[in-house]
Amino acid sequence: MPLRLKIVLVVLSCLWSTISCAGDNYAAHPAAIELVDELVQEEGFDRGTLLQLFASAQRQESILEAIARPAEKSKPWYEYRQIFLNDKRLEQGVEFYEQHRETLQRAQRETGVPAEIIVAIIGIETYYGRVSGSYRVIDALSTLAFDYPPRSPFFTGELKSYLILTRQQGMDPLALKGSYAGAMGYGQFMPSSFLAYAVDFDGDEVVDIWNNPVDAIGSVANYFSRHGWRKGETVVSPATVSGQVPDDWFVQSRKDLVPEHTVAQFAAAGIEPDRPLDPEALAVAMKFELQRGYEYWLGLHNFYVITRYNHSAMYAMCVYQLSRQIAARVSQ
């Protein structure tokens, strides 16, 4: 092959490689440029630093695939609960509780949130910090902000919050890792939740929910406290259903999670709690599919608070049931 042709082919190959790589980052993406303008004007960021950052942010196809088909979607209760309620998660939960007993009990005293609820959240989210995500947060949030139109506004806001929090905390925005959706640390806080609820619980003037279980515990407790957890109140009650109760009395989707009917109203409709409850207390009714038949529950205010962490009745029930298992196993 003539030398000149070889040189042309090498140049073309390099040019294609450069174009290809540039296409995988967000340095010139119009929405990224718009966010850069906003951060420069409203938050005082340096434009050059942000452009360099987005040149390093990589589009991840696997993230788009993952968010399009979340693993737990559409599973019936009897399958869903097996993901989170198992011997391994219970044993590790007891271990985590005993290892961090002093911190957990301080968090419980200061916020009123039971230690076992805090442990259950961390256990369900990340197996007590063992599985907290392998994606760079900058890649996850950029991919979803700029290449996932159905929730672009939400993830653009989270990306903005992420850049603000890393600047506040003096962290490298290219270094932190999390879930495919950009959730971070032991408790899988989204960046906006970090800014609103994460706390320095050990007094070292750094808020570290990635590597510091003390800050993670305090932050989860603060999240629940700020969302209105009521100390000592019942979370859920098993229920018995009599007659033909219409499906619209039960939680069907996330929009139904807000308690709007009283216990007395549910009882009149044929959904009776199996334990004494205040007839005037607001609740939601839940119908969970078993392999044969259904089980029924009434969720009260504190159950609603758990759903603020993840807007799913089945998720909240797993948190509650794991917390009860852990509480039964640890020495009080």
Catalytic residue numbers, as ranges: 125
Confirm if 187 and 117 have CB atoms less than 8 A apart.
no
Q: How far apart are CA 52 and CA 70, in angstroms?
A: 32
Q: How far apart are CA 331 and CA 322, in angstroms?
A: 16
User: In whole angstroms, how large is the CA radius of gyration of the chain?
Assistant: 24
Phi, psi of 218 (to 5 degrees): -60, -35
Confirm if 132 and 185 have CB atoms less than 8 A apart.
yes
In the numeric block, the tokens 């504190």 are attached to 302
Confirm if 173 and 141 have CB atoms less than 8 A apart.
no
Partners of 201 in the β-ladder: none
Q: What angle do CA 153, 135, 322 make, to 5 degrees?
A: 90
Alpha helices (H) along the chain: 3-24, 30-43, 47-56, 61-68, 77-84, 87-99, 101-111, 115-126, 137-147, 152-169, 191-197, 213-226, 263-269, 301-307, 313-329
**CA 12 vs CA 1, 18, 21, 23, 184: distances in Å:** 16, 10, 14, 16, 41
Partners of 262 in the β-ladder: 282
The letter for the amino acid at 43 is E
Phi, psi of 28 (to 5 degrees): -115, 10
Partners of 282 in the β-ladder: 262
